[in-house]
Amino acid sequence: MNIPNILTLLRIVLTPAVVIFLMEGSYFKALIVFSISGLTDGLDGFLARVLKQQTKLGAYLDPIADKALLTSSFLTLAIMGIIPGWLTVIVISRDCIILLGIAILSIMSISFEIRPAFISKVTTMLQLMTVLTVLVLQGLGNAMDYNWMHLLYWVTALFTILSGLGYLVRGIRLINTQG
């Protein structure tokens, strides 16, 4: 176990706290915990590279931590009627499609490397920014009817869809070349 993996595990452990704070309407506390989680996301990867502590475990845990935090946050906020349900469906559907693809490749014994594409990193950043912005506005007691919020929702949805399609194309290529 190394520092980057510990930070990733911390992000997983903090996820239920974000959900609990959201359910209690404690948006400022949720914002703080979510922000700490977001910082560990960037810090774990940076430290893994700088300290040359990249591990196979970290390669698996990092996306799991991201998915746990984002899926839980989007789902809770949608159930509470704070963000649009359609956006949550897009975010979660993309993740389910990726997991299904990984399962299919594994069942077919097709070797693959877990390496996020650039668009996926942008997608994760947009999803984090969407939740963070919602938490800031909720914490300040502001209404969510800003036109720019709708633009952020649509941009996040667009990148999420494009990222999902990118993974789908990569998976199909792997199956066609190795399957």
Q: What is the mean pLDDT of residues 154-171?
A: 95
The Cα 109–Cα 45 span in angstroms is 28
- Asked if residue 23 lies in contact with residue 76, where contact means CB atoms within 8 angstroms, the answer is yes
Angle made by CA atoms 32, 122, 110, in degrees to the nearest 5: 115
User: What residue numbers bound the domain in which 35 lies?
Assistant: 3-178
Instruction: Please state the domain count of the chain.
Output: 1
- Asked if residue 5 lies in contact with residue 58, where contact means CB atoms within 8 angstroms, the answer is yes
- Highest average pLDDT, of 53-67, 79-93, 132-146, comes from 79-93
Q: What is the mean pLDDT of residues 114-131?
A: 89
Q: Which of 1, 129, 111 lies closest to 61, judged by CA?
A: 1
Other residues' Cβ atoms within 10 Å of the Cβ of residue 86: 11
Name the average pLDDT for the chain.
90
Q: What is the mean pLDDT of residues 44-69?
A: 86
- H helices then E strands: how many in the chain? 6, 0
Angle made by CA atoms 26, 32, 33, in degrees to the nearest 5: 90
State residue 62's pLDDT score: 87
State residue 142's pLDDT score: 66
CATH number, residue 140: 1.20.120.1760
Confidence of residue 164 (pLDDT cuts 50, 70, 90): very high
